[in-house]
Amino acid sequence: MDLAMVGDRIIPLDSLDPVYLDRGVFFGDGVYEVLRSYGGRLFALEEHLKRFERSLAAVYITGIDISTIRDRVMRAFEQAQLADAKIYFHITRGSDRRNHVWKPDLTPNFLLTISPAPDSTAEKAAGIAVCTHPDWRWKRCDIKSLNLLANVLARQDAENRGCSEAILIDEAGMITEGSSSAFFAVFGRSIRTAPLTSNILPSITRQFVLKAATNLGMGLIEQSLTPQDAKTADELFIAVTTKDIIPVVKFDGKPIADGKPGPITKALIDGFRKFTIP
Ligand code: PDD
């Protein structure tokens, strides 16, 4: 007899709610997106949908109509009535008994949540401390997949050490990105960040940061840096959809410059804000 046990309750496996058999739970077999709104307007919706489509294709989840996803996002956003919203959504390959090989006819599962975007005013004003952690992730970090255990472990380690973000270091000793953010350093009038390869996520916020930097007449250097380089930077910051740009004032316990958010980072925050208001 095929059985399942949920908590302490035994039931026939066939009568188990398919939600328990989601391949997203068994294998992290799915992809996701996070976007937000500013002042009642969704920000960079098309960029997020495009990346989502790319992630789906990369893991061979087929048959998803992106215009349906766009409609769902817009419908949830309208219904929630949140001016500054954070929207999370994912698609998993579907639900089935656990088997590494998937059946071709599975129905993908869609989940979306919408809630107020975090208020990052205090972090923007004071800056944050970050701690390094080995980058234990797989080799396709360009896919926004649900496999986030390595990110979660790094972020929790940072939290335990009093840091607001973990900065991931690859086997060559180079910084890849944050556990859930892109990472940037400012040297003089140039900003430096890792190039877009399969070892980092093509961050949407990164695109707008580079645009803001160009608008400010700054140089862009897409080249990885070491923790030692980071410690000697004039300024550091992270970038992520939910909070846009957050100054980093301490790196592995070492204050950056005078230990306060720097003028270039502040100018980029202002430059970024211009993209978010009509
Ligand atoms: N994280 N790098 C990683 C590993 C990320 O998880 C994220 C975003 C970013 C920044 O990407 P974007 O600018 O597109 O938000 C970079 C999301 C918000 C999360 O997992 O919650």
**What CATH number does the domain containing 63 carry?**
3.30.470.10
Per residue in 1-40, is it b (16+ CB within 10 Å) or e — as a string? eeebeeeeeeeeeeebeeeebbbbebbebbbbbbbbbbee
Which tokens go with 169? 């270091």
- Calculate how far, in angstroms, residue 19's C-alpha sits from the geometric centre of ligand 1: 26
Whole-structure pTM over 0.85, yes or no?
Answer: yes
Give yes or no: residues 103 and 126 share one domain.
no
**CB-based burial label for 130 (10 Å; 0-12, 13-18, 19+):** buried
Give yes or no: residues 127 and 110 share one domain.
no
pLDDT per residue as tens digits for the range 220-238: 999 999 999 999 999 999 9
32/52 Cα distance (integer angstroms): 7
Give yes or no: residues 91 and 139 share one domain.
no
Percentage of the chain lying above the pLDDT 90 cut: 99
Q: Is 167 in the pocket of ligand 1 (CB under 6 A)?
A: no
- Calculate how far, in angstroms, residue 7's C-alpha sits from the geometric centre of ligand 1: 33
Domain count, the chain: 2
Residue 264: per-residue pLDDT = 98
- Calculate how far, in angstroms, residue 64's C-alpha sits from the geometric centre of ligand 1: 22
Protein residue closest via CA to atom 2 of ligand 1: 181
Which tokens go with 272? 């970024």
Q: Out of 77, 98, 116, pick the residue that ends a domain.
A: 116
Give yes or no: residues 246 and 166 share one domain.
yes
Catalytic (active site) residue 86: no
Q: How far is CA 126 from CA 74, 207, 250, 259, in A?
A: 34, 24, 11, 9
Give yes or no: residues 106 and 148 share one domain.
no
Domain boundaries, position 9 = 3-116
pLDDT per residue as tens digits for the range 169-212: 999 999 999 999 999 999 999 999 999 999 999 999 999 999 99
Residue 167 has φ and ψ, to the nearest 5°, of -105, 125
The band of 278, judged by pLDDT with boundaries at 50, 70 and 90, is confident
Q: Is 135 in the pocket of ligand 1 (CB under 6 A)?
A: no
The band of 111, judged by pLDDT with boundaries at 50, 70 and 90, is very high
Q: Out of 73, 91, 116, pick the residue that ends a domain.
A: 116
pLDDT per residue as tens digits for the range 64-108: 999 999 999 999 999 999 999 999 999 999 999 999 999 999 999
C-alpha angle 23/144/81, rounded to 5°? 90
79/76 Cα distance (integer angstroms): 5
pLDDT per residue as tens digits for the range 30-74: 999 999 999 999 999 999 999 999 999 999 999 999 999 999 999
Give yes or no: residues 19 and 136 share one domain.
no
Q: How far is CA 33 from CA 36, 73, 84, 86, 253, in A?
A: 10, 11, 17, 11, 32
Residue of 86, 103, 124, 144 with catalytic role:
144
181/274 Cα distance (integer angstroms): 21
| Ligand 1 mutation target, pool 241, 243, 246, most atoms within 8 A of CB | 241
Q: Out of 88, 116, 144, pick the residue that ends a domain.
A: 116
Query: Which amino acid is residue 221, in one-letter code?
Result: I
Give yes or no: residues 165 and 260 share one domain.
yes
Give yes or no: residues 156 and 267 share one domain.
yes
Q: Is 235 in the pocket of ligand 1 (CB under 6 A)?
A: no
- Calculate how far, in angstroms, residue 203's C-alpha sits from the geometric centre of ligand 1: 6
The answer to whether residues 33 and 146 touch, using CB atoms and an 8 Å cutoff, is no
Give yes or no: residues 112 and 144 share one domain.
no
Give yes or no: residues 133 and 90 share one domain.
no
